[in-house]
Each structure stands twice: as C-alpha cells, then as structure tokens.
C-alpha cells in the first residue's frame, strides 16, 4: 500500500510528519487527510514528542484538494470520520455540507488546537487547500521560491473552507489575492506576517529543525499554555466566529452551483484557474 504519510524523528523531542504524494504535488485525498489526522493525534498524545514539523515530500508542499478522477469522494468511503457529522451520501447540500464540515473545516479546527507547537516547512506551490494545512500550524518556515495561492473564487466560492485569509494576510491583500486568484510570494508573505522566516530551499529542512530543537528544550507545560493563550486571544478577537461565518458562505456557494450547474462548483473553474496561475504571483 502507498505510504501516504511518513513520521520521522530527526531529533530528540521533535517529530517530522511528511505528506508523501510527491507525484501529485501532495494533493489531498480523503485517505491522505485522515492519515494526517491519525498521525497528528498520535504525535499529540506521544509524551516523547514536544514539537511537530509538518512537511511535504518533493517539489511542492501541497497543491490542494485532489479533484482527479477516482480521487475526490464526498461520501468519505474508506475512511473513518472523527466528528459528529453523518449522512455524507445524502443528495445535494445535505451530504456535501456534512462532508466539508467533517473532512475540511472539522479536521482543520482540530489540528489548529493541537496542544503542542506545530511548524510548517513549506516549499514550492501551496495552492488552495494547501493553505489550510499551513495556516493551522503555529509557525511557518518557507523556502525562497514558495508561493501561496487561493484561486477557487473561479469556482464561485468565497475561498477555501478554513477561511483565515483576512487574519493571515490583512484585509486589503486578502481581497486582492481572492479577487484576482493570483498568489503571493514567500517574501511578501513574510512582510505580511503570514510566514515567520524565508530561507533558501536547500536550507529549509535544517532551519526548520534547528528552530524545532530550540522550542523542544522548553517545558511542555509552558509551551502548551502559551499556545492556548495566543489561540484564546485570537478567538476572543472573533477568529472562530469569522471562520464559521465564512463557512456558511461556502455552503451558499455550493448551493448556488447545485442550482445552476447541478454540481458544487462551477465547471468552468479549471480552465479559469489555469489561466490565472499563468499570470504568476502578485507584485
């Protein structure tokens, strides 16, 4: 069987979780997402693991949801749901809403609140749902050539399901990124505060590990409480309610597309996204 994720121990107290679909630019299938969930929860409960690094094998961190033939399955066949939603096989929005609440928003929120520091080591392309994997992490280290893109407005939606754009980019740049469908460079992401550090590609793993080792020396309880304090502050500022409101608009977009096209996304999206990506990142 394909090894969808790899777990490594590059240093005492540090676990490195690697998405292992480089031939698909680490595009996310349900099996990959739930393999990530299994590994993250196991590492979260492992007393030997003090810091988690999330990485992607190959040239790109993640190219988003895998919508290829035979890969996308809104019924969640073959995986075991971890939340309270059910009815994934129901028609139209009843089943599709349950699917996205469970597999996208539900998993992201679960990972965002893991009580250990999680560092994303990001290279190459981070497209659409790839952003969600990076944004749930506490720290993001990016290689110099990395780009971050959410072009799914072309599908008639407001953006990816974990809609943290205004929090990560600021209001103005979030709107420009979403309206144009173009991405931003690692350098711009660092200026905006979305990325902590930008490093040469051949130094990404070493720089990330060095940071993880420094953090791993700190008391576990202190790290846990500091993460909780920062996350709670963000939640008090309206972060969770903002995400939930945006998720409601996501469902509205799907309902509109079901009525108009008989499917949850505008069928013209793929061609439009390809043309947009050729424009390159924003200046």
251 domain residue, yes or no? yes
Nearest residue to 10 via CA among 184, 174, 212: 212
DSSP 8-state code for residue 29: P
* Domain of residue 234, CATH code: 3.90.226.10
pLDDT for the residue 70: 83
pLDDT for the residue 1: 39
81 domain residue, yes or no? yes
CB 38 within 8 A of CB 7: no
Rounded distance between C-alpha atoms, residue 66 and residue 44, angstroms: 26
> Each residue of 235-283: pLDDT tens digit?
999 999 999 999 999 999 999 999 999 999 999 999 999 999 999 999 8
Number of H helices, E strands in the chain: 11, 9
Enter the pTM of the model.
Answer: 0.96
Question: Which residues neighbour 7 within 8 Å (Cβ) at sequence distance 6 or greater?
Answer: 15, 16, 17, 18, 39, 43
282 domain residue, yes or no? no
pLDDT above 80: residue 22: yes
283 domain residue, yes or no? no
Domain span at residue 18 reads: 5-277
256 domain residue, yes or no? yes
> Each residue of 83-116: pLDDT tens digit?
999 999 999 899 999 999 999 999 999 999 999 9
Our count of domains for the chain comes to 1
88 domain residue, yes or no? yes
CA 2 to chain centre: 22
Nearest residue to 197 via CA among 214, 184, 211: 211
Helices (H), 72-161: 92-100, 107-112, 129-135
Tell the residue number behind the tokens 């939930």, with chain if given: 244
Rounded distance between C-alpha atoms, residue 221 and residue 203, angstroms: 30
pLDDT for the residue 2: 55
19 domain residue, yes or no? yes
């Amino acid at each position: 069987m394909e090894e969808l994720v790899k777990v490594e121990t590059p240093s005492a107290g540090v676990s490195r979780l690697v998405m292992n679909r480089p031939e698909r630019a680490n595009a996310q299938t349900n099996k990959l997402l739930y393999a990530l969930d299994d590994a993250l929860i196991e590492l979260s409960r492992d007393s030997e693991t003090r810091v988690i690094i999330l990485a992607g094998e190959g040239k790109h961190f993640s190219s988003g949801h895998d919508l290829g033939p035979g890969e996308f399955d809104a019924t969640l066949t073959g995986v075991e749901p971890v939340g309270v939603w059910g009815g994934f096989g129901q028609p139209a929005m009843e089943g599709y809403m349950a699917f996205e609440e469970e597999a996208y928003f539900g998993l992201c929120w679960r990972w965002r609140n893991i009580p250990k520091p999680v560092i994303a080591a990001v290279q190459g392309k981070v497209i659409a749902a790839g952003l969600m994997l990076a944004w749930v992490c506490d720290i993001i280290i990016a290689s110099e050539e990395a780009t971050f893109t959410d072009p799914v407005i072309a599908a008639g939606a407001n953006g990816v399901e974990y809609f943290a754009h205004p929090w990560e980019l600021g209001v103005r740049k979030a709107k420009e990124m979403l309206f144009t469908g173009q991405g931003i460079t690692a350098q711009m992401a660092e200026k905006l505060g979305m990325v902590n550090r930008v490093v040469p590609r051949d130094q990404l793993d070493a720089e990330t590990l060095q940071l993880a080792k420094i953090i791993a020396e700190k008391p576990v309880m202190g790290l846990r409480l500091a993460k909780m304090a920062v996350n709670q502050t963000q939640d008090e500022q309206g972060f969770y309610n903002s995400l939930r409101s945006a998720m409601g608009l996501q469902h509205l977009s799907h309902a509109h597309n079901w009525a108009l096209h008989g499917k949850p996304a505008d069928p013209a999206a793929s061609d439009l996204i390809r043309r947009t990506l050729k424009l390159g990142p924003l200046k």
